[in-house]
Amino acid sequence: MRIAVTGQVGQVVTSLAERDAAAGHEVIAIGRPQLDLADPKSVMHALEAAAPDAIVSAAAYTAVDKAEGERDLAHTVNRAGAGAVAQAAKTLGVPLVHVSTDYVFDGALDRPYVESDATGPTGVYGVSKLAGEQAVLAAHGDNSAIVRVAWVYSPYGANFVKTMLRLAGDRDEVSVVADQVGNPTSGLEIADGILMVATNLVADSNPALRGVFHMTAQGEASWADFAEAIFAASAARGGPSALVRRIGTVDYPTPATRPANSRLDCGLIARVHGVALPNWHGSLDTVIARLIADAN
């Protein structure tokens, strides 16, 4: 199966390119200048030239704090750009997998979020991503699956795991927020799940396979818990490690408000698509091993 993916350098895009051969697919990553979500008019031509059997909408504006001062750009990319990708998929007559985020919720619930829970993003990034979901459903809802992911890390790009390892390289203690909880999720595992969902959409027209789904790793952690696991896995391989000083969100103010609860219930995608990502501890170990090996 030939899958066109928007973007070229993001964690999910790069992970898809790594995992495609094992899954028996061909992934064509298309980014700027051929496809620029800030210029939605470029989208149709670039995707049509790829002649895909399915499209994955992975590219996005993801600078959560910077978005507070770049509202128009965030909405152009995440709403108008996502809508243009969905419209192109509809015109080409192919299914679409659109990648979204836990930031569409306000984080106030005391349990993992299910797909039917009310959304309520608290920042520009979350608002723009929710608007993107709505644009996708409006343009191509009858043949799209929206997958919300969270706390993504991988051997690629910038992410929390790589930041913690870098900080541990030059200090003995790192302050990490302990009152935000979520599901740390490997981009490599997300890629596997997306490829399975895309395969299902191409093979089966069942409406139950379309709609909104949550897809994260099993298990939960606070950012401080996650950091401690990162340092333990790194130390076991002779890599950098540090003590974690647990702090509150109030001690680490940021321009954008982060959800206190980012946990997502993934029961629906397991039942409908057969996608159940592994526990995050094992996946983290795999990524850490690769990062330590690459650094040596």
- The single-letter code of the amino acid at 191 is A
296 in any annotated domain = no
Please write the tens of the pLDDT for every residue from 113-150: 999 999 999 999 999 999 999 999 999 999 999 999 99
Is the residue at 293 inside a domain?
A: no
CATH number of the domain to which 61 belongs:
3.40.50.720
pLDDT digits (tens, 9 = 90+) for 217-272: 999 999 999 999 999 999 999 999 999 999 999 999 999 999 999 999 999 999 99
Q: How many structural domains compose the chain?
A: 1
Domain span including residue 274? 2-158+184-219+262-278
The answer to whether residue 211 is domain-embedded is yes
pLDDT above 90: residue 40: no
pLDDT above 80: residue 296: no
Q: Helices in 175-295 by DSSP H: which ranges? A: 187-203, 223-235, 267-273, 280-295
52-71 confidence digits (pLDDT tens): 999 999 999 999 999 999 99
214 found inside a domain: yes
Q: Which residues are catalytic?
A: 125
Residues 259-292, buried b or exposed e (16+ Cβ, 10 A)? bbbbbbbbebbbebbebebeebeebbeebbbebb
> Rounded to whole angstroms, how far apart are CA atoms 296 and 127?
41
Ramachandran quadrant class, 34 (left: phi over 0; alpha: psi -120 to 50; beta: rest)? alpha
